[in-house]
A and B are shown apart, each in its own frame.
Chain A
Amino acid sequence: MAHEIVAEMVANVMQIVVAPGDQVVPGDTIVVLESMKMEIPVLTERAGVVDAVKVSTGDVVQEGDILAVLR
């Protein structure tokens, strides 16, 4: 089942860590966001395969925006 990884807060996308097709396990970093002057890694809570990355480095994301989709 598809699992969406969403931004918890307004942030800039600093770094994309995974690419479509990558296997991930709980605790793996998907992207790194920059917010409140901090670098905040976004981790997955589930295992799966990265289906799509929905953002690019430099994007501004809002709370609830989808960062990546796992399958």
Chain B
Amino acid sequence: MTTTKPEPTAAARKPKLPRADDPRNPNKRLAALFDEGSLELVSEDDDSGMLAAVGTVDGAPVVAFCSDATVMGGAMGYQGCKVVVRAYERAVSDGVPIVGLWHSGGARLAEGVLSLHAVGEIFHAMTTASGAIPQISVVLGPAAGGAAYGPALTDVVILGPEGRIFVTGPEVVRSVTGENVDMLRLGGPEPHGRRSGVVHVLTDSEDQAIGEARRLAALLGVPGVLDPAAVEDVDLGALLPDSPKRAYDVHPLVGAVLDEGSALELHGRWAPNICTALGRFGGRTVGVVANNPLRLGGCLDSLSAEKASRFVRMCDAFGVPLIVLVDVPGYLPGVGQEWDGVVRRGAKLLHAFSECSVPRVTLVTRKAYGGAYIAMNARSLGATKVFAWPGAEIAVMGAVAAVRILHRRKLAEVTPDIRPQVEAELAVEHEKIAGGVDKAVEIGVVDAVVDPATTRSRIAATIADALAASGPVRGQHGNIPL
């Protein structure tokens, strides 16, 4: 005889595991972060909702803390927040990176304002440490309210596949605004990876999320020494299309400038018209900022300027030299941009590069026009060196566009059939006088025209010389989440 079994209830499907077997157990999550056998707890393994430890990542010391989602969903009370604050004190005094693994519904309601006060103390500790030690957050489950702003104050936010970040959860949203929305749409990978810019790195599994945190801790915590002899030359020019008008994806170029396989892109899907990546260059950690012509033609706009500003300031704070790859047609025009504050947000990038004290080398691969030319670490903003590839155009605007304005009357007088020809002739003439890379070298805004096939070694020599001349330098400022 066969019987139809009733659907198991939710409780029956998900029996509460003993804490030791629960995958959310913070002991397990911290163990996955550290080198095997290196973990040493620095807080009591109790019901505070937070657990902290020291250990090593690739042999280098790191401090970490983890929400205990097995206790009240990881809610943060006074004791748990103290664990985090003490972990910060330890990381700052040791001068080592700190990694936070988050899975928490926010402040403990039952503790009232005391828990809010304690969460605020975490924010204060994070801000005090900003720019002094690298701070990496990994969000592995829901991170609401205070648990959302904690990661947001740190340098890099990594999202696990189950990570959800929001100020107020679906129920509050529903009761206040009537809007029906689930956690995924409120604060999952799509909104934060693509739209809000809250998350820097998206991942497909918890293991990968923690693995990326290990890579970042090593990149930021162990910068290494640049060995120019280890920087092999490759023909980077082969990575660009033949037609100068054709857009292309800049990622292969970024990957080829950096040591093979070392690139770790931040904010890959948000403001994708600019690429920001950390990686190794001759063994040393560097940052790359590159216009991506495939998206929005590589134009700078308000979001990409803001994204790059924050990245530049982070690199400067941690003494990470910058390589800036420029192929930019200008700022994106339009009312949307102006109303979006492209002037205010674009100014951040001018400020970020201008205040930057680490070595920073600019390479103009194809073109740099107008205000965007300046914003991409031009000579005038204090670039260590500005290189350009042969044939690069550096100008206020494209030559044809320029002569249309400069010779408007003359062009109006000729018949339309020969106008393109006259424009072309005037453009050649104009380039001789105003644009062209030779003129840029002559007036000193480009230091040298370099062969794409020797560009890597030229950049390496420049950064190595600058580091040797200045010693280790880093910007004396925090990394406000711009």
Instruction: Determine whether A1 belongs to the interface, using a CB cutoff of 8 Å to chain B.
Output: no
Cα A21 to Cα B330 with chains together (Å): 37
Is there contact, CB below 8 Å, between A40 and B247?
A: yes
Q: Which residue of B lies closest to A8 (CB)?
A: B296
Give the residues from 1 to 18 in chain A that come closer than 8 angstroms, CB to CB, to chain B.
8-10
Is there contact, CB below 8 Å, between A40 and B332?
A: no
Instruction: Determine whether B8 belongs to the interface, using a CB cutoff of 8 Å to chain A.
Output: no
Is there contact, CB below 8 Å, between A37 and B401?
A: yes
Contacts of A10 in B (CB 8 A): 334
Contacts of B299 in A (CB 8 A): 9, 36
Contacts of A36 in B (CB 8 A): 297, 299, 329-330
Instruction: Determine whether A23 belongs to the interface, using a CB cutoff of 8 Å to chain B.
Output: no
Instruction: Determine whether A35 belongs to the interface, using a CB cutoff of 8 Å to chain B.
Output: yes
Instruction: Determine whether B295 belongs to the interface, using a CB cutoff of 8 Å to chain A.
Output: yes
Instruction: Determine whether A39 belongs to the interface, using a CB cutoff of 8 Å to chain B.
Output: yes
Give the residues from 190 to 228 in chain B that come closer than 8 angstroms, CB to CB, to chain A.
none
Give the residues from 239 to 286 in chain B that come closer than 8 angstroms, CB to CB, to chain A.
243, 245-247
Is there contact, CB below 8 Å, between A41 and B294?
A: yes
- B275-310: contact bitstring with A at CB < 8 Å (1 yes, 0 no)? 000000000000000000111111100000000000
Contacts of B400 in A (CB 8 A): 37
Instruction: Determine whether B371 belongs to the interface, using a CB cutoff of 8 Å to chain A.
Output: no
In the complex, which of the residues A8, A37, A41 contacts B329, with contact meaning CB atoms closer than 8 Å?
A37
B268–chain A nearest beta-carbon distance, Å = 12
Instruction: Determine whether B336 belongs to the interface, using a CB cutoff of 8 Å to chain A.
Output: yes
- A30-47: contact bitstring with B at CB < 8 Å (1 yes, 0 no)? 000001111111010000
Cα A63 to Cα B247 with chains together (Å): 18
Instruction: Determine whether B398 belongs to the interface, using a CB cutoff of 8 Å to chain A.
Output: yes
A31–chain B nearest beta-carbon distance, Å = 13
Contacts of B246 in A (CB 8 A): 38-39
Cα A44 to Cα B363 with chains together (Å): 29
Majority SS at the chain B contact face: loop
Is there contact, CB below 8 Å, between B245 and A39?
A: yes
Is there contact, CB below 8 Å, between A38 and B334?
A: no
Is there contact, CB below 8 Å, between A43 and B329?
A: no
Contacts of A43 in B (CB 8 A): 294
In the complex, which of the residues B293, B332, B336, B401 contacts A38, with contact meaning CB atoms closer than 8 Å?
B293
Q: Which residue of A lies closest to B241 (CB)?
A: A39
- A47-68: contact bitstring with B at CB < 8 Å (1 yes, 0 no)? 0000000000000000100000
Q: Which residue of B lies closest to A10 (CB)?
A: B334
Cα A36 to Cα B243 with chains together (Å): 15
Contacts of B297 in A (CB 8 A): 9, 35-36, 38, 40
A13–chain B nearest beta-carbon distance, Å = 15
Of listed B245, B330, B401, residue having the most chain A CB within 10 A: B245
Cα A16 to Cα B398 with chains together (Å): 27
Is there contact, CB below 8 Å, between A9 and B332?
A: yes
Also in contact, A39 and B247, with CB within 8 A (given A9-B332, A10-B334): yes
Is there contact, CB below 8 Å, between A38 and B247?
A: yes
Of listed A8, A36, A38, residue having the most chain B CB within 10 A: A38
Contacts of A9 in B (CB 8 A): 296-297, 299, 332
A6–chain B nearest beta-carbon distance, Å = 13
Is there contact, CB below 8 Å, between A37 and B398?
A: yes
Q: Which residue of A lies closest to B328 (CB)?
A: A36
Cα A5 to Cα B294 with chains together (Å): 15
Cα A40 to Cα B334 with chains together (Å): 18
Of listed A36, A40, A63, residue having the most chain B CB within 10 A: A36
Q: Which residue of B lies closest to A45 (CB)?
A: B269
Cα A3 to Cα B243 with chains together (Å): 31
Is there contact, CB below 8 Å, between B336 and A41?
A: no
Q: Which residue of A lies closest to B243 (CB)?
A: A39
Q: Which residue of A lies closest to B400 (CB)?
A: A37
- B325-363: contact bitstring with A at CB < 8 Å (1 yes, 0 no)? 000011010101000000000000000000000000000
Cα A63 to Cα B333 with chains together (Å): 12
Contacts of B332 in A (CB 8 A): 9
Contacts of B401 in A (CB 8 A): 37
Q: Which residue of A lies closest to B401 (CB)?
A: A37
B139–chain A nearest beta-carbon distance, Å = 23
Cα A37 to Cα B330 with chains together (Å): 11
Cα A38 to Cα B299 with chains together (Å): 11
In the complex, which of the residues B247, B296, B330, B398 contacts A41, with contact meaning CB atoms closer than 8 Å?
B247
A17–chain B nearest beta-carbon distance, Å = 14
- New A-B pairs, 16, CB < 8 Å, besides A9-B332, A37-B398, A38-B247: A8-B296, A36-B297, A36-B299, A36-B330, A37-B245, A37-B329, A37-B400, A38-B246, A38-B297, A38-B298, A39-B243, A39-B246, A40-B247, A40-B293, A40-B297, A41-B247
The 5 closest A-B pairs by CB, nearest first: A36-B297, A40-B247, A36-B329, A38-B297, A39-B246
11 CB contacts below 8 A, A to B, read: A8-B296, A9-B296, A36-B297, A36-B299, A36-B330, A37-B401, A39-B243, A39-B246, A40-B294, A41-B247, A43-B294
Residues in B lying within 8 Å of A, measured CB to CB? 243, 245-247, 293-299, 329-330, 332, 334, 336, 398, 400-401
